[in-house]
Every structure is written in C-alpha cells, then in structure tokens.
Amino acid sequence: MLLAACVVLGAAANVASAEDVRVAVAANFTAPMQKIAAVFTQQTGNKVQLTFGGTGKFYAQIKNGAPFDILLAADDTTPVKLEGEGLAVPGSHFTYAIGKLVLWSANAGLVDDQGKVLGAGSWQHIAIANPKLAPYGAAAMQALDKLGLMAVVSPKVVTGEDIGQTYQFAASGNAQLGFVAYSQVLKDGRLNGGSMWLVPADLYAPIRQDAALLTAGKGNPAAAALLKFLHDNAQVRAIIKSYGYD
C-alpha cells in the first residue's frame, strides 16, 4: 500500500509553477498542518488552502462534490472508503500520523497523572467527541469501557460534533474535563496550560490518521507534491512529532 502511494505521489513531485491546493484537515491536526503548509509554501511557492473540521462531515461534503484536492482524515477508514467509491485515487492513502488521546482540563490542578479524577473528582461535565463520527470520541469510549467507568461517566457527557468543538467545551470551562487529542494541548512540545493525563495506548485502538489524494486533485501537481512532502520530508516529521503524534 505504501509503495503504491509513493508511485502515485512521485509522479508529480516536481512542480514547475505555483499552484493552489485545497486540503480538508481533521480538526486535531490544525496546528501542525498550519506549520507544515507554511513550510511547503515557502519552499515551493504553492499556496495551501486549509479547511479544518470533522472527518465525518468532510466525508459527506466530498460525497456531495466539495472541491477538495486532499483529505487528511482523523482515521484510516474514511480514505479507504472514498477510494472504494471512486472519490479518491486508488492506492494514494497512507498513514501520516498516529494520534494520542488525553484527558484534559483547563484547570491546572484538576487532572491527576493517573486519571483517577474520572471516578472520584468533583466535576459536573466531561466533553467527548461524537463516537459515531470522531475517532477520538470512539477511543474515549473504549478507554472508559476498559476502565469500568462507563456507568459513572456517561450521565455527565457533553458531546462535541468533532474533536475541535470538544476541545472548545473543555477550554471554555463549560465542561470541566475533556477527552481530546494530545496535539491540541501542546505547544512547542509542552503542555500549554491546564492539567492532563495521557491515556495509556492499550486502553483504545490505535488512532491511525490517513491522507488521500482525492479525485478532484488528481490533475493538480501541487496536490501530489504536498502529499509527497507530508510523506517524505524530515522537517515535516519533526513538526508532527512535536505535537505528540507517533
């Protein structure tokens, strides 16, 4: 699969003139993609138009003809589904990041380093992304189930449309706790305020985030160049890791 992706991407690696590329980006990948796009534009002259949101919503928009060239999904199933439906270039998808789940609060003293606050803390609401649409929401529910805390936590859940809205619920204090993406609470590789518990990886299925070249971008050399840049560039890998992704 990876070899196939490289073949597809390599065909347009060298862009002769500046082009625009339209990218639908999973909300959890907002900050790193803004940095990556800036570096890409600086090095190639190609402009990157970024739209951030939930992968489930992007899937519906792409099905309805939204003119995106690239999808950076929050899962590894949506790109495959789009390929199967003829809406993404076959063999173009690859994993660009593996996400990590954290329990986070804007309150610096609320979350302990073992997550015990979930079962014993004096809090009223916890924000979780819609598990039917958002991989991080599904991961949160898996973790709660394995911890045996579903019955305790469920009555206090405030559901976010996507991981971006979920983070906003927690950041605003409307929910004292939130299961969010590790990348959302980091800045320059460090916790950017509040308190958090990095949820052990064995409590949820790996959050593999895949990219795909959409059929609308098949003839755009800048789109193929951006995917190759995301796949191969060492500076890009460093940026991704600095936001807590594997």
Query: How far is Cα 102 from Cα 54, in angstroms, rounded to an integer?
Result: 18
Query: How far is Cα 95 from Cα 56, in angstroms, rounded to an integer?
Result: 18
**Tokens read off for 190:** 């460090």
CB atoms < 10 A from the CB of 18, how many? 11
Amino acid in the structure at residue 33: M
Q: What is the pTM of this model?
A: 0.85
> Out of 3.90.1150.10, 1.10.486.10, 3.40.50.300, 3.40.190.10, which CATH number does the structure's domain 101-198 have?
3.40.190.10
**Average pLDDT over all residues of the chain:** 91
Query: How far is Cα 13 from Cα 109, in angstroms, rounded to an integer?
Result: 48
Q: For residues 50 and 37, is the Cβ–Cβ distance under 8 A?
A: yes
Residue reference for tokens 């755009």? 220
Same fold, 2-98+206-242 and 101-198: yes
pLDDT at 18: 62
pLDDT at 150: 96
Domain chopping of the chain, boundaries: 2-98+206-242, 101-198
**Sign of the C-alpha dihedral computed for residues 237, 41, 79 and 101 taken in this order:** positive
pLDDT at 188: 80
- What is the tens place of the pLDDT at every residue in 54-72? 999 999 999 999 999 999 9
Determine the topology of domain 2-98+206-242 in CATH: D-Maltodextrin-Binding Protein; domain 2 (3.40.190)
Contact residues for 60 (Cβ-Cβ < 8 A; gap 6+): none
Contact residues for 108 (Cβ-Cβ < 8 A; gap 6+): 193, 194, 195
pLDDT at 6: 43
pLDDT at 38: 97
pLDDT-flagged residues of the chain (< 50): 1-17
